[in-house]
A and B are shown apart, each in its own frame.
Chain A
């Protein structure tokens, strides 16, 4: 079991938690040491996994999932701890590792109770990593819940503003989503195999059996898609996002917007679409309408916000809407774009939230009306913010452009008027995004200094630079050399597209 590299993605965070448990609450050095070693190990492991994966693929290993392993966990219900990754999960693991790494440095000076903060932070990471390595939907769901629950405490204890309210709202709404999801997953399980064969939770087996009755598929598809869609901030279930993000501490916002929201998109195609392809063909239009609304609605809402975090939360609604929108187009190019958008959005939102945290830590306000001219005072953070902004509005050379273009060109493949109208509406978001990003940049960074107290502020310290540079390098890397990622993702979509096409016949 321990020979499987994937298991270590869960073991390392658990070991980190044990290590943190041994630290004394006051010895901040030891806590940081554990976190740095652990997150670096995770990042190293993710990079190594990525290389190894590409090597195996390069060597001609075309099986759907690599590094598979399965261990019985609870025999009466045939629950396994089953792991395996395809190109998409590898990239998601890499994304999570990068953000955990950057998040560690971004919360270098977390106060109070650093030890407890990092304990919950590690638990959250465990859930995230566990989710991406699982191919057994029960364990997947379990890890999903593990990732969600710490959020309540992280926001409720270390947050700012109306933190109790927001923490409660976020948790309740996501738990509401989980309730739908639980029903959907149980439904899938009970129909997972034809008569006479043992029921299974394993994604590959369920897909292989494709025994789910079409009439059931429609119901289950709605349940699972809404369940995951809540986490993916789908309209009208997105309202936890602005409040939750606004009140969360920096690293939590980063991890939440950067990775946790991706769980939603990932679940949507891995479970809702892959396992219920007939329903996906039939009912995609409903969710195309909802996600299409998300894209434009989120962007318009972001235009008038004055709190930096609200702007970003609404922008996330728009960008994550794009992810789900592209997934529902049910063709390789658009779905590839969705994954690219997940990566891109994860990295740049993490960067945004990190920077907002750093700026907030200095100016003690997030209201853009009370700030101005920060570029002069903290040029490093200002430039980083601009880069994040440019990535968000889709500047070529940064990741956002690649993702958006792949989505638009993929989505345009559907030639009927319904799809066309929604694609063109979605493309309009590139203009609206430019409006709200430049509005923020203009008010926050440029122009005259608004508050004389800000003149005394300092620029980024080394750990802040490390955190931001890591993210910027990844953003520019995807933006400049997208094709290897693109190919990896496209390859991984073959079985899913095959299932969709078979179901459409």
Chain B
């Protein structure tokens, strides 16, 4: 494989962005849509071909003695900071980037197709497709990055695409503030990422991933044992880099932007805020994994953050009313699952199973979560509301949406034979191998997942039929929207049987997946019990949920308000930083610094007013001054001479 195809994978989406962005206004809507879909379709086909060649061709460039190789298809200099510290833009092909190519282009293509139906009547259709292309370009550039700086570049670009797409309905103040929040929170996290890169590259003198990950001990050695506040600088660097990942992947406490990001169009939520961009943090850790391994503290940090976030988000998801927010919190929880799994993927334990499991879950989660979001989009399209209170009993009206949504729920709940079962089982096995506590904790989160997903499912499709349907009968979506649903549902049914360990492992050597029966049995039992509980509580309209809520109003309210994180942030940013620091500085500038400068001018002016009377034009007065001066001088001279 030459460089043409890799270049095309990046060039096609950005070309589409430029074409649609610059010429979109003059273009008919249909043409813009078709161009966008065709562009993405072609990119998807090329990506499949590249991934297929990489995994299956067996060429010596890609696989040696069963170990898959990391290949830099191209790597061109973009900016040379110093002789050795050079930023390059390249294309790294290895198992995880090939897998991500498939995931991104598949979901992106599905979303492009779906949006044609979903966004049909929205103004700014062309702009929407332009932004989708920009996002796809940035995300593809991120995953194929050959060096951490290239990743940072595209990291920022996906951030801005996300900003533009969340704020797509820019006339709504809520969308504007949500997009702003998303950008600023992730920017804050990226500050950590940037400082991490600064530290890391200062010691290693390179940005290149292969140089660093092939020789992690060398990376550690290059720091020369330098420490800062008790931890080695490499730990600091890796934790700071992970901070960037926490921002993008919405880990606590930087998760607050993701639920608000649901203000964006629903297909965008499916693409960016469920399947691709939000897993960038996981991808980042996976990419730098060998370096994380040599500083265990940072890896422990990753898993602890993951475990806390997974539980927190799952609890909050149980109490949300907006169906997209339920899915958003579920996304946070699932990504946290992947993070924890990465954090426990120590090679000496179970052959680094957690890494493979995490990537596997990334893959399956992308498919079923995109499915769920697109399903939610179809529901919102039908009832024109985001809240489940406007839904209920929809299974009769929207059979396609119902069945595909159910498949999504079963997959995320981890029911055999749907894809989520397999990946979640591997993750739990990895966690049990680390410590029983991790396993038990995350099994509990898995149970919560099953519960809140089926709560959502029943409240949408069962419960009680909403009386509004009589005036406005909901119906299934047009084919552009149904086709992606059906396709993704089919993938969610079969993806679990992919022998994922043959393709992606931490050391790129094959790993044979086997189901760990005790783990699988436990998690399956917990999931089924949770579903049964959800069925009892929500399948038919009954007073149990309300009664339960009234039993512990404080807890319910706290969970519903997401444990007041937004309020805390609001207080810190608005009251302390904005009103305190910013206003304080602005006041200081005007009333102290500038007033001093004005003061100089005033003093000069006053002085001149005071003494200008001397120049009166009155000759007698001048003579008087003259004589007074002369006498004074004479007196001084006399005194001096004396």
CA distance A428 to B601 in the complex (A): 35
Given the known A-B contacts A408-B198, A430-B191, are A447 and B173 also in contact in the complex, defined by CB atoms under 8 Å?
Answer: yes
How far is the CB of A377 from the nearest CB of chain B, in Å?
12
How far is the CB of A36 from the nearest CB of chain B, in Å?
26
Which B residues lie within 8 Å of A157 (CB)? none
Q: Which of A172, A394, A483 contacts B77 (CB 8 A)?
A: A483
How far is the CB of B604 from the nearest CB of chain A, in Å?
9
Interface residues of B (CB under 8 A from A): 25, 77-82, 85, 149, 153-154, 156-157, 160, 163, 167, 170-173, 176-177, 180, 183-184, 187-188, 190-191, 194-195, 198-199, 201-202, 578, 581-583, 585-586, 589, 593-594, 596-598, 601
CA distance A111 to B162 in the complex (A): 43
A225 at the interface (CB under 8 A from B): no
How far is the CB of B603 from the nearest CB of chain A, in Å?
13
How far is the CB of B78 from the nearest CB of chain A, in Å?
6
**Closest B-chain residue to A485, C-beta based?**
B79
Whether B198 lies near A412 (C-beta < 8 A) is yes
CB-defined A-B contacts under 8 Å, sample of 25: A239-B589, A300-B585, A300-B586, A301-B582, A301-B589, A303-B578, A303-B582, A333-B81, A396-B154, A397-B157, A401-B156, A408-B194, A412-B202, A430-B191, A431-B184, A434-B183, A434-B187, A435-B184, A442-B177, A442-B180, A447-B176, A482-B79, A483-B77, A486-B79, A487-B80
Per-position contact with B for A233-274: 1 when CB-CB < 8 Å, else 0?
A: 001100110000000000000000000000000000000000
CB contact list, A391-407 vs B, under 8 A: 393-397, 401-402, 405-406
Chain A contact residues: helix, strand, loop or mixed: helix
Q: Which of A332, A390, A413, A446 contacts B167 (CB 8 A)?
A: A446
**Closest A-chain residue to B593, C-beta based?**
A236
A-B contact count (CB 8 A): 119
Q: Which of B81, B188, B601 contacts A409 (CB 8 A)?
A: B81
A427 at the interface (CB under 8 A from B): yes
Which A residues lie within 8 Å of B149 (CB)? 405
CB contact list, A357-414 vs B, under 8 A: 373, 375-376, 379, 390, 393-397, 401-402, 405-406, 408-410, 412-413
CA distance A240 to B79 in the complex (A): 36
CA distance A239 to B589 in the complex (A): 8
**Closest B-chain residue to A480, C-beta based?**
B78
CA distance A482 to B195 in the complex (A): 22
Which A residues lie within 8 Å of B25 (CB)? 379
Which B residues lie within 8 Å of A375 (CB)? 170
Which B residues lie within 8 Å of A446 (CB)? 167, 170-171, 176
How far is the CB of A442 from the nearest CB of chain B, in Å?
5
10 more A-B contacts (CB under 8 A) besides A435-B184, A446-B170?
A173-B597, A236-B593, A239-B597, A304-B582, A390-B160, A393-B187, A406-B79, A423-B198, A447-B172, A486-B79
Interface residues of A (CB under 8 A from B): 169, 172-173, 235-236, 239-240, 297, 300-301, 303-305, 332-333, 373, 375-376, 379, 390, 393-397, 401-402, 405-406, 408-410, 412-413, 415, 423-424, 427-428, 430-431, 434-435, 438-439, 442, 445-448, 482-483, 486-487, 490
Whether A483 lies near B78 (C-beta < 8 A) is yes
Q: Which of A301, A379, A395, A434 contacts B157 (CB 8 A)?
A: A395
CA distance A379 to B26 in the complex (A): 13
Whether A304 lies near B191 (C-beta < 8 A) is no
How far is the CB of A173 from the nearest CB of chain B, in Å?
7
Which A residues lie within 8 Å of B172 (CB)? 447
Given the known A-B contacts A396-B156, A412-B198, are A428 and B82 also in contact in the complex, defined by CB atoms under 8 Å?
Answer: no
Which B residues lie within 8 Å of A394 (CB)? 156
Which B residues lie within 8 Å of A304 (CB)? 578, 582-583, 586
**The 4 residue pairs across chains A and B that have the minimum distance between CB atoms:** A239-B594, A446-B170, A396-B153, A303-B582
Q: Which of A239, A402, A439 contacts B180 (CB 8 A)?
A: A439
CA distance A196 to B202 in the complex (A): 48
How far is the CB of A138 from the nearest CB of chain B, in Å?
28
How far is the CB of A42 from the nearest CB of chain B, in Å?
29
How far is the CB of A19 from the nearest CB of chain B, in Å?
37
Whether A301 lies near B585 (C-beta < 8 A) is yes
Residue picked from B81, B85, B149, B578, most chain A C-beta under 10 Å: B81
Given the known A-B contacts A427-B191, A430-B187, A482-B79, are A447 and B157 also in contact in the complex, defined by CB atoms under 8 Å?
Answer: no
Whether A172 lies near B601 (C-beta < 8 A) is yes
**Closest A-chain residue to B202, C-beta based?**
A412
How far is the CB of B131 from the nearest CB of chain A, in Å?
12
Given the known A-B contacts A172-B601, A396-B153, A408-B194, are A305 and B586 also in contact in the complex, defined by CB atoms under 8 Å?
Answer: yes
How far is the CB of A430 from the nearest CB of chain B, in Å?
6
Whether A438 lies near B184 (C-beta < 8 A) is yes
Which A residues lie within 8 Å of B81 (CB)? 333, 405-406, 409-410
Given the known A-B contacts A333-B81, A409-B81, are A431 and B188 also in contact in the complex, defined by CB atoms under 8 Å?
Answer: yes
Whether A413 lies near B202 (C-beta < 8 A) is yes
How far is the CB of A307 from the nearest CB of chain B, in Å?
12
Whether A409 lies near B198 (C-beta < 8 A) is yes
Which B residues lie within 8 Å of A239 (CB)? 589, 593-594, 597
Which A residues lie within 8 Å of B585 (CB)? 297, 300-301
Given the known A-B contacts A396-B154, A431-B187, are A482 and B177 also in contact in the complex, defined by CB atoms under 8 Å?
Answer: no
How far is the CB of A450 from the nearest CB of chain B, in Å?
11
Whether A438 lies near B198 (C-beta < 8 A) is no
How far is the CB of A30 from the nearest CB of chain B, in Å?
35
Whether B157 lies near A442 (C-beta < 8 A) is no
Which B residues lie within 8 Å of A410 (CB)? 81
Whether A373 lies near B80 (C-beta < 8 A) is no
CA distance A127 to B485 in the complex (A): 66
Whether B188 lies near A373 (C-beta < 8 A) is no
Whether B173 lies near A448 (C-beta < 8 A) is yes
Which A residues lie within 8 Å of B180 (CB)? 438-439, 442
Q: Which of B82, B160, B171, B596 contacts A332 (CB 8 A)?
A: B82
How far is the CB of A501 from the nearest CB of chain B, in Å?
15
CA distance A169 to B589 in the complex (A): 15
Whether A483 lies near B597 (C-beta < 8 A) is no
**Closest B-chain residue to A423, C-beta based?**
B198
Q: Which of A169, A447, A483 contacts B80 (CB 8 A)?
A: A483
CA distance A438 to B589 in the complex (A): 23
Residue picked from A240, A304, A375, A409, most chain B C-beta under 10 Å: A409
CA distance A415 to B202 in the complex (A): 9
How far is the CB of A429 from the nearest CB of chain B, in Å?
10
Whether A396 lies near B171 (C-beta < 8 A) is no
Whether B191 lies near A448 (C-beta < 8 A) is no
Q: Which of B153, B191, B582 contacts A431 (CB 8 A)?
A: B191
CA distance A301 to B581 in the complex (A): 9
Which A residues lie within 8 Å of B177 (CB)? 442
CA distance A169 to B594 in the complex (A): 10
CA distance A483 to B89 in the complex (A): 12
CA distance A442 to B202 in the complex (A): 37
Which B residues lie within 8 Å of A235 (CB)? 593
